[in-house]
Each structure stands twice: as C-alpha cells, then as structure tokens.
C-alpha cells in the first residue's frame, strides 16, 4: 500500500500539473502573441516534473505529461499563430524560432496534424533560406518516428536531400492485427531493409517483464548485461522477457540488428505507437515493467551503476506471491 507521505506527494504533484495546465490556458492569448513567448512556454513544458499514479497493486508508476501538454499547446497556440501569419514573410531569425518550436513539439507529441503543419512551414520557406535543407531533414526524421515511410521518401525527393538512409519495407500480416486489450503490435527487425509485424500477448504468461530500452542507452545495456549474466531469476520468466524500443527518427537498423544478434536474450523490437501501450506513460530508458496476468503491477525506472538488483528481485517475488 502507498504510505501517507508518498500519497500526499503524488496528489500535490498532480495538483501542480493541473494548475500549470489551467494557467497555460488563461495566459494563452498573451503567451501566443510572439514566437519568443511560445518558445518560453515550450521550454517550461520540457522541464515539467514527472508525476506519479497508483497501480492496482498499490505501487506507483511515474507518468510523463510532456506529450499531452505539447499537443495541447499546439492546438491552443502554435497552430493559430502559424495560420494567422501563413502568408507573411518569415525572416531567417523568425523561421528558425518557429522551427525550434514545431520541431520540439513534434519530438514529444508525434501527431499527423503537427507533421502536416511542419511540412507546410518548410515547403513555404524561401529556397534562399540557408537552413531550409536542415529543416527538411528534421521533418523527415519526424516522419520516420511516426512510421510514415512514404512521406519520408516524398520529403527526400521534394527537397533533394542528400542522405544515404535506406527506408525499409514493412511486412504486414492480417494475423498480426491486435484483437484484444492485451494484444500489442510490434515490429521485429528481419534485415536492415525489412521490418516484420508481429503480435504479442501480454497475458500469455502469468508474469511478464517488458523492458523499455535502447541498445544505444548505457543504463539499458548495464541492465541487459546484469540480467543476462548475473540475475538469479526464474529461467522461464527471463525467457519470456520482451524488449521494446521507440523510434526516435534514426533508423540505424543495421546496428540494432547487430546488437540483437549479439544478445539473443534481449532482442529489441520496435513499438508502432505509444497508443498501443496505454498503460505505459513513461518512456525514458530503461524502464522495467512487470505485469501479472496482463496487468501492470510494478515499474522500475533507470539502472544506475550500482544497479537496482534488490528492488527488481523483490518486485519479481511480489508478482509470484500474488499469483500463488
């Protein structure tokens, strides 16, 4: 069960977030009046503290609200500002300010509406703008993060981007379509040029560990080495552990595949979308998630140099006792 001080801290954090959100709305007319004001608001959202929420087990999990608030800022502020000035001349300085805003929002909250406006902005810049190609390349990375590969190809052609990035094909399967609340879609890396859809059932095993990580994240790799060579955990549980990673705009499929082949017990798969994992509201790496019969009961964030061995093993023991 939650202790009183932790519960109070959680409530105060959530209250602060609500007040922050409401204050953003009341100040929208003032703070949307200039690009500098909007950029300041984006910065404030970027450093917004994480909050906690209670799990059914009585434990708590961290929640990151940046994506939600960035999307709200786009709708209530950025979109209106842009549309009111869409036919105006953009100086290189103002264009760079707006790029820094829409690029940051699209990083945290990848929605098609954001990308469409981002593309409209870049397309309407003067070809003499010295940063036009750089902005187009950033746009292509956001489309990659959204798995919109046809749009990536179009951007590369339209803006004549000099890039050697290979855009892979995705092998789709009707059988892989998620059909129940506990079934999720993943993308496995078959070759550097081919991704394959597959279905994963969270409730298949009584205890299921899911790792949000990256082969390019040092703490993720520390945890991977520990669980591979040192962890004294039931072999069946480790065998069913699923390692997932988000797409952040850099494919690097060859490097990811090499890492997967080197460490068979932690082979990463991509997620299609955060919306496919509604119970995960914190995507920093590594985040260790423990499910019991398809329900999230524990979250462990980070793996420092000294590790979190006791915390991890206690969480596994708790999950086992709950089933027994």
Please compute the mean of the pLDDT values over residues 257-272 and round it to a whole number.
86
43 with 91, same domain: the answer is yes
213 with 114, same domain: the answer is no
List residues bridging with 169 in a β-sheet. 194
Check whether 7 has a pLDDT greater than 50. no
164 belongs to a structural domain: no
- What's residue 313's pLDDT? 87
- What's residue 119's pLDDT? 97
Phi, psi of 59 (to 5 degrees): -80, 175
234 belongs to a structural domain: yes
Check whether 66 has a pLDDT greater than 70. yes
Q: What CATH number has the domain bearing residue 216?
A: 3.40.30.10
Cα distance between residue 270 and residue 317, in whole Å: 29
- What's residue 104's pLDDT? 96
In our burial notation (b when 16+ CB lie closer than 10 A, e otherwise), range 201-219 reads: ebeebbbbbbbbbbbebeb
- What's residue 225's pLDDT? 84
Please compute the mean of the pLDDT values over residues 275-293 and round it to a whole number.
90
The enclosing H or E element of 44 equals helix 35-46
- What's residue 178's pLDDT? 61
Check whether 324 has a pLDDT greater than 80. no
Cα distance between residue 161 and residue 152, in whole Å: 10
Q: What is the pLDDT of residues 243-257, one digit of tens each?
A: 999 888 888 899 999
275 belongs to a structural domain: yes
50 with 179, same domain: the answer is no
208 with 142, same domain: the answer is no
145 with 40, same domain: the answer is yes
Task: Choose one of 158, 188, 210: the last residue of a domain.
Answer: 158
Cα distance between residue 262 and residue 82, in whole Å: 47
- What's residue 10's pLDDT? 44
Angle at the Cα of 176 (from 174 to 177), degrees rounded to 5?
A: 70
- Where does residue 24 fall: left (phi above 0), alpha (psi -120 to 50 degrees), or beta otherwise? alpha
139 with 205, same domain: the answer is no
Q: What is the pLDDT of residues 40-51, one digit of tens each?
A: 999 999 998 888
- What's residue 5's pLDDT? 40
163 belongs to a structural domain: no
Check whether 160 has a pLDDT greater than 80. yes
Check whether 166 has a pLDDT greater than 90. no
Average pLDDT of the chain, as a whole number:
84
11 with 50, same domain: the answer is yes
Token pair of 201 as six digits: 């059932």
* Residue 128 binned pLDDT confidence (cut-offs 50, 70, 90): confident
Q: What is the pLDDT of residues 223-248, one digit of tens each?
A: 988 887 776 666 677 778 899 998 88
Q: Considering the entire predicted model, what is its pTM?
A: 0.82
Check whether 279 has a pLDDT greater than 90. no
Domain that holds residue 206: 169-323
- What's residue 89's pLDDT? 77
Number of domains the chain contains: 2
């Amino acid at each position: 069960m939650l202790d009183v001080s932790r519960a109070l801290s959680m409530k105060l954090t959530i209250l602060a977030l609500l007040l922050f959100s409401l204050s953003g709305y009341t100040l929208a007319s003032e703070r949307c009046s200039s690009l500098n004001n909007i950029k300041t608001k984006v910065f404030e959202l970027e450093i917004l503290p994480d909050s906690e929420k209670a799990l059914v087990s009585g434990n708590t999990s961290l929640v990151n609200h940046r994506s939600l608030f960035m999307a709200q800022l786009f709708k209530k502020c950025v979109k209106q500002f842009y549309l009111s000035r869409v036919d105006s001349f953009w100086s290189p300085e103002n264009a760079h300010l707006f790029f820094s805003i829409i690029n940051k929002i699209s990083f945290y909250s990848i929605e098609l509406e954001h990308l469409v406006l981002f593309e409209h902005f870049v397309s309407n810049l003067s070809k003499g703008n010295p940063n036009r190609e750089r902005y187009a390349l950033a746009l292509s990375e956001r489309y990659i993060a959204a798995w919109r590969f046809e749009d990536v190809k179009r951007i590369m052609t339209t803006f004549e981007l000099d890039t050697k990035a290979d855009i892979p094909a995705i092998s789709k399967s009707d059988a892989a379509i998620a059909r129940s609340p506990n079934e999720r879609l993943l993308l496995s890396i078959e070759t550097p040029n081919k991704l394959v859809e597959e279905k994963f059932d969270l409730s298949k095993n009584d205890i299921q560990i899911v790792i949000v990580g990256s082969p390019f994240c040092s703490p993720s790799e520390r945890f991977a080495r520990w669980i591979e060579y040192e962890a004294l955990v039931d072999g069946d549980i480790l065998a069913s552990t699923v390692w997932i990673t988000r797409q952040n705009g850099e494919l690097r499929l060859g490097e990811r595949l090499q890492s997967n082949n080197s460490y068979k017990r932690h082979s990463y798969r991509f997620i299609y979308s955060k919306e496919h994992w509604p119970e995960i509201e914190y995507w920093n790496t590594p985040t260790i998630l423990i499910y019991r019969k398809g329900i999230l009961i524990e979250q462990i964030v980070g793996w420092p140099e000294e590790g979190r061995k006791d915390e991890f093993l206690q969480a596994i023991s708790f999950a086992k006792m709950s089933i027994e």
